[in-house]
Structure 1
């Protein structure tokens, strides 16, 4: 969904700092306590993106698990990385060098990479323990499960997610005599709102990444920069846990769609916002700086997920100073979302114990321990309550309602070769918005060429 040194989609879940593979590996004993004699021997090793503090923070979940399963010792280990892509690269390097964790917490960005190369499918375990899982699936929207299926198999039980919604600064709106838009607002309504803020705050602030960048705009224009398809399979799962749902075996992104006319129209619309000084260029940072700018009334609108509620509260912003709205409608109001959950590694010799961990962390008690504050959106609908969002905006229900109101909303477009795909997108978004209309066309041609090369390389491997 996203640089941990900044507050991005799931930065508050633990991403922070930069470390090399060698440096991280050297720091593991100090970070995780494995330098204590006997500790970690024969333990179920859980790898997360984050710092030693993040690993310590999850210890409460590990302790609760070990109370219930005293025969399964658990060791939480953290890997510092600049973002999810960097984290996945380090996992691949570690596995290749013989360092093999049992379970890894991974986001949508890496779900298909893990499913294709690193993780075990959970289908047999889910079928065996179906009676213990109805409570979880009854509480979790099917779109979130479908996003973690790959070619008909379930590889993760998502625990948290965030949709790309629009945050609006009510101080800026009030200062300029504007009104909070309704749920059925359009792209043109959005543009007019920005015009009303021009000359005061920065009307629209956005960043250049897969989550909250150009992709939500492509989705509401009923397109994407990749060809999106659906896999076959999964019928037994859907009929068991979501009877009546017409769902697939998961998403597939099979090639470039960069030269599609609607993609060009989307890029040109965003370029016009930049040219008219209604939006910043997307590569102009974000994160902690963005929280401060928004909280101080210098930004009017910005896309973000439910994770931002905690960040704004910590930044000193009161709940009545901002609100959240669905993304505006263009051809559709299809939203973008991303989630995260634990994956069981193929290389583990403790698959049964790993499944017990995944099953435990999906229960409500464990999820309440994992998400005590609105630093993300829990996948369990029953956890989205007034108590959870005490310090949240008036319309906090829209975080989860996004999935209910717009059931065609889809995950971040992240095929197994996500890292190369995202690199190509970010590079060409920057060039497309830096010149005239002809530059948009040239950049999309280049993006198309780059993406075709990525998928051709995958076909040859």
Structure 2
């Protein structure tokens, strides 16, 4: 429904072929490319060029950047407010499009509000949600640029003048070159296994052994979810 909405009615080329994502195939956690990539991360950490990968969320990484332990990372629009709140001043950081390799596709993610089936006030809850999604309600709910507004009309230079970054428009402009990546039904088990096996790889220095274990973990989770 998103790509057929009025928001994209004047951009038929940009939405051509967009759907809801793809069907997940067999796990490939211990592929040669995955092992090479993780071993590279291990080597960076061992050489002192990078801190150890952290299993925390964005707030943890923002603290590492604000303290000078990392100098570049991927991140969405919530980093503008996150880095500002972590102590970084406007002008001390910026954002660019992700470097292009075989393609330059970005992950498109969106959040929304739901109503429990068990709610005894569904109609009232729906009225509240309608107020919450109005443009004039955005700053009351999400002050300080801690997320990217869904409405493009809210993406203005004035909004980012206190936090930065200078090239704030990149956050929303990447939507035209983004793809939806649907989470597999066993995502929770996958995330837990990934964190555990990454920690194992960093502590042991053996990416292949850790990813062989991750492959087995994911195969088990996938079989239980099917």
Quickly name the TM-score band, shorter chain normalised: 0.7 to 0.9
The answer to whether the 8 Å contact 1:294/1:300 transfers is yes
SS of match in other structure, 1:303: coil
Structure 1 residues 288 and 268 mapped into 2: Cα distance closer, same or farther (>3 Å)? closer
TM-score normalised by the chain length of structure 1: 0.42
User: 183, 186, 192: which one pairs with 1:417?
Assistant: 186
What are the ranges of 5 or more consecutive residues in structure 2 without an aligned counterpart?
A: none
User: 341, 344, 369: which one pairs with 2:115?
Assistant: 344
SS of match in other structure, 2:157: coil
CA shift for structure 1 position 389: 0.6
Structure 1 residues 420 and 296 mapped into 2: Cα distance closer, same or farther (>3 Å)? closer
Aligned residue in 2 for 1:276: 47
Aligned residue in 2 for 1:190: none
CA shift for structure 1 position 454: 0.9
The answer to whether the 8 Å contact 1:295/1:317 transfers is yes
Matched, 1:398 2:167: no
Matches within 5 A, 1:22-421: 137-139=5-7, 245-253=16-24, 255-283=26-54, 291=62, 293-391=64-162, 392-404=164-176, 406-408=177-179, 410-411=180-181, 414-421=183-190
SS of match in other structure, 1:393: coil
The answer to whether the 8 Å contact 2:90/2:165 transfers is yes
The answer to whether the 8 Å contact 1:255/1:451 transfers is no
Distance 1:441 1:329 in 2: 27
CA shift for structure 1 position 263: 2.5
Structure 1 residues 279 and 259 mapped into 2: Cα distance closer, same or farther (>3 Å)? same
243-252 vs 317-326, greater mean Cα deviation: 243-252
Offset from partner CA, 1:129-152 (integer Å, 9 cap, x none): xxxxx9xx444x7xxxxxxxxxxx
442-451 vs 338-347, greater mean Cα deviation: 338-347
What are the ranges of 5 or more consecutive residues in structure 1 without an aligned counterpart?
A: 1-122, 127-133, 142-239
Structure with more contact order per residue of length (Cα contacts < 8 Å, sep ≥ 6): 2
The answer to whether the 8 Å contact 1:420/1:454 transfers is yes
Larger fraction in strand: 1
Structure 1 residues 415 and 286 mapped into 2: Cα distance closer, same or farther (>3 Å)? closer
Offset from partner CA, 1:90-146 (integer Å, 9 cap, x none): xxxxxxxxxxxxxxxxxxxxxxxxxxxxxxxxx9xx9xxxxxxx9xx444x7xxxxx
Matched, 1:440 2:211: no
Distance 2:134 2:213 in 1: 46
Task: Please tell me the root mean square deviation across aligned C-alpha atoms, in Å.
Answer: 3.3
SS of match in other structure, 1:336: strand
The answer to whether the 8 Å contact 1:254/1:455 transfers is no
Work out which of the two has the higher radius of gyration on C-alpha atoms and give 1 or 2.
Answer: 1
Offset from partner CA, 1:12-41 (integer Å, 9 cap, x none): xxxxxxxxxxxxxxxxxxxxxxxxxxxxxx
Aligned residue in 1 for 2:195: 426
Distance 1:273 1:354 in 2: 50
SS of match in other structure, 1:416: coil
SS of match in other structure, 1:325: coil
Number of aligned residues: 222
User: 450, 453, 459: which one pairs with 2:220?
Assistant: 453
